[in-house]
Amino acid sequence: MGPCARNWFTSPWSTQCSTECGEGRRSRSAVCLLDHVTNLPLDGCDGPRPQEVISCYAGPCHLRLEWYTGPWGQCSAECGNGTQTRGVACLLHDNGRLEAVDQSNCSHLDRPMSSQSCHLKVCGVQWYATDWSTCSRSCDGGYRVREVCCLADNVTPSELCDLSATPESREDCNTQPCLPETVSSCSDQYYNCVFVVQARLCVYSYYRTACCSSCSVITHTHSSRTTSAGDDFPR
């Protein structure tokens, strides 16, 4: 029957250049076929493989704007749902020179995404916790609480979490001592108001005015102590 024909077949060249301006590429595919049907290894055909990429020129790049995107960054989560971002910039092409300009200049073009969701692998069971509650006291030591639970990937309760890694559900807060309240407009008019307090002269209106700040501190402290003891303030 004679030798079987093994010939190179090529698809049409792409009609568009790979760039909108400047140097680009046009491409096509080449395959080696037997009897117009069987795809042979690329070295099965006689002669050199046809060229599959050629250069093209789409005209000068003069004051042309386009979006530029950098590589995607790492996923924000080692497992489960996360987010990854990339840099997006507006570039001005001017005869081979590139310049980054304000992004508003590219507002007429479709802006590429700067973030997207990512999922590296399933997390399995893990601990989840709510935000902390408000502290029970503003000073002198209080506590705050939160809810903690173990969940599987389908957000159903599980008992397979590591108990030794259980997050705290209660902690101390606002451990600083309570300071006496003072009125910001209240101040001492004399340098020796400390002696007025020691001499217990704050019961008189004159000294309470002249040594307002010092007398307010001692009055507040005395009032707090007597109130906590359940006694009336002495007159």
Q: Please, which pLDDT band fits residue 70 given cuts at 50, 70 and 90?
A: very high
Q: Is residue 14 part of a domain?
A: yes
What Rg do the C-alpha atoms of the chain give, in angstroms?
40
Same domain, 115 and 79: yes
**How confident is the model at residue 52, as a pLDDT?**
94
Bridge pairing between strands 30-34 and 38-39: antiparallel
Is the model's pLDDT at 235 over the cut of 50?
A: no
For the chain, the domain total comes to 4
Q: Is residue 69 part of a domain?
A: yes
- Say which residue, 3 or 232, is predicted with more confidence: 3
Q: Tell me which long-range contacts 112-115 makes (C-beta under 8 A, separation of at least 24).
A: 112/67, 112/69, 112/88, 114/85, 114/86, 114/87, 114/88, 115/83, 115/84, 115/85, 115/86
How many C-beta atoms surround the C-beta of residue 49 within 10 A? Answer: 13
Q: Please, which pLDDT band fits residue 3 given cuts at 50, 70 and 90?
A: low
Same domain, 217 and 185: yes
How many C-beta atoms surround the C-beta of residue 215 within 10 A? Answer: 22
Same domain, 186 and 231: yes
Q: In angstroms, how far is the first alpha carbon of the chain from the final one?
A: 131
19, 34, 57 — which closes off a domain?
57
Is the model's pLDDT at 89 over the cut of 90?
A: yes
Q: Which residue has the tokens 């971002």?
A: 85
Average pLDDT value over all residues in the chain: 83
Q: Is residue 131 part of a domain?
A: yes
CA atoms within 13 A on the CB side of 218: 17
Distance CA 148, CA 169 (A): 6
**How confident is the model at residue 231, as a pLDDT?**
45
Q: Is residue 1 part of a domain?
A: no
Q: Is residue 37 part of a domain?
A: yes
Tokens of 20: 């909108």
Boundaries of domain holding 155: 127-173
pLDDT tens figures, 121-173: 888 898 999 999 999 988 888 999 999 999 988 889 999 999 999 999 999 99
Same domain, 68 and 51: no
Distance CA 193, CA 187 (A): 10
Distance CA 183, CA 187 (A): 8
pLDDT tens figures, 7-63: 788 899 998 888 877 788 999 998 887 655 555 555 567 778 899 999 998 877 777
**How confident is the model at residue 192, as a pLDDT?**
86
pLDDT tens figures, 201-215: 888 888 888 888 888
Q: Is residue 39 part of a domain?
A: yes
Q: Please, which pLDDT band fits residue 224 given cuts at 50, 70 and 90?
A: very low
Number of H helices, E strands in the chain: 3, 14
pTM of the model: 0.42
**How confident is the model at residue 173, as a pLDDT?**
93
Q: Is residue 22 part of a domain?
A: yes
Is the model's pLDDT at 227 over the cut of 80?
A: no
Distance CA 169, CA 42 (A): 66
| 126: nearest Cα among 165, 177, 181 | 165
